[in-house]
Amino acid sequence: MAASIFEVDRESLSALEQRLQMPRREFLQFCATVAATLGLPAGAEAAVAKAVESAQRPSVIWLHFQECTGCSESLLRAEHPTIEKLILDVISLDYHETLMVAAGHQAEAARKDAMKAHKGKYVLVVEGAIPTKENGIYCKIGGHTAIDLLKECAADAAAVIAIGSCASWGGMPSTIPSLAGADSSPTGASGVAEVLGKPVVTIPGCPPNPYNFLATVVHFLTFGALPPVDKLGRPLFAYGRLIHESCERRAHFDAGRFAMQFGDEGHRKGYCLYKLGCKGPETYANCPTLGFNDVGESAWPVACGHPCIGCSEKGVGFQKPIHAVAKMLNVVPPTQYPRISEDVGKGASFASAAALAAIAGAAAGGAVMVAKNLGLSHQAAELEKAKDSKPKAEV
C-alpha cells in the first residue's frame, strides 16, 4: 500500500513547521497539490513532504541576462506557501543578482564559492536570453559575457532550468525588427539550449506561472531527477495540452459563437476570441487550469477578455502579429462559420456594366426568338398532324 502523507514523521514535521514558520496543515496541503499537479500516483505526496522537510538544501545559482526580471517578480509573488517561507528556505539560493545583498566582487565570490562547494550538485536557473552577436558583447556581468558565464556555470551543474520564454528560446529579445534585409534580432538573442548545444528543461511564458517552476524544483528534490518533458524541453505536466483544449470559452468555439471585435455583444458575453487572434489553438500551456498566484483562474489574458498571444510557444509569441488568426492544430471550425476576413469583390466599371447589359440584352433577345421559333415549330407540327389525319380522298 502506498505511504500516506500522514505517515510522515511527526517530529520532522514539527521541526519543519518551526523552520518554515508555516502551519503543518498548509504544508501538507501544498505537498498534495504539487503531487497532483505533477500527475504523480496516490501516496506520492508523502515523498514530496519527505524531500521538502530534508535539511539537505540544494544549492541554486540563478543567472540573469536579457530579460525584464518579470520571471523572478512573478515567482516572488507566489502564495500558499510564499517564497520566503518555502522556496528560499528549502533551497539554498546562493546567487541571484536581484535578491542577493552582496554586490560587485563579493557577488562574484559568492557565485564561485557556491560552484566550488557544490560541484556537480547545484541547480542552475537561467532567466533571460543570451546575446550571441559580436561575440556576446551586448550583455556582460563582472567583465564576462553572458555566453561565458552560462557555459562556466552549466559545466558542473546537476540540472539546468531555463525559466521564461527569453531563456527558453529567445523570447521578446529575439524578435526580428521590420527592417529591410533583417533576418535575426539585433543582438542575436538565443535560448539556453541553443547556446549550450544540449537539451535543458524549459519553463516558457512571459512570465511563466511560478507554480510550474516550483513543481519542477520539487520534483527534482523528491526524485533526484527533472520531470518528463516534450521535445522542446517543457515539462509535460504543465505544457502537455493546448490552451484551447481547456479554455473556459471552448464551448462558445464549438457552438460557433465568436467575438468579432473588441466591445461588441459577443465580446461582452464572453464568446470565443479565436477571430480576434487568440493563439490558444496553437499554444501549449496550462494557463486556463492553474491560476496565477493568489488571484485565481481569472488571472490570464483570455479570462480578462484579451486573446492569448502565445507567449510560451516558440514561433508564435513575439513572432506572429497579436491579432493574426491562429493555426488550428487539432480542431478546425466548421466551414459554415464566417471567416475572420471575407473576400470582397471590386465594383463593376461603367464599361463592364455596359458590356454585361449588352450580353444580357442579347441573351434576352435570343430567348425570345427561341421561344418564338419553338412556338412556330409547334404550330407547324400540329398542322402537319391534322393533315395526316384527313382521308386520302379529301386531300
Q: What was the pLDDT predicted at 3? A: 47
CATH number, domain 56-176+186-237, options 3.90.25.10, 3.50.4.10, 2.30.42.10, 3.40.50.700: 3.40.50.700
CB 80 within 8 A of CB 294: yes
Reported as a single tens digit per residue, the pLDDT across 355-392 is 555 555 555 554 445 444 444 444 555 555 566 555 55
Q: What's the confidence (pLDDT) of residue 102?
A: 87
* Residue 357 pLDDT: 56
Give the pLDDT of residue 22: 65
- Which parts of the chain have pLDDT scores under 70? 1-22, 24, 37-39, 41, 50-56, 80-81, 85-89, 179-181, 296-297, 331-395
For domain 241-342, give the CATH number: 4.10.480.10
pLDDT at 345: 54
pLDDT of residue 90: 72
Question: Which residues belong to CATH 3.40.50.700 in the chain?
Answer: 56-176+186-237
* Contacts made by residues 276-279, CB under 8 angstroms, sequence distance 24+: 276/307, 276/323, 277/307, 277/321, 277/322, 277/323, 277/324, 277/325, 277/326, 278/302, 278/307, 278/308, 278/326, 279/243, 279/307, 279/308, 279/309, 279/310, 279/313, 279/316, 279/317, 279/320, 279/326
Question: Could you tell me which of 214, 203, 226, 220 has the C-alpha nearest to residue 86?
Answer: 214
pLDDT at 200: 95
Q: What is the pTM of this model?
A: 0.72
pLDDT in tens, 106-165: 999 999 999 999 999 999 999 999 999 999 999 999 899 999 999 999 999 999 999 999
Domain with CATH 4.10.480.10 in the chain: 241-342
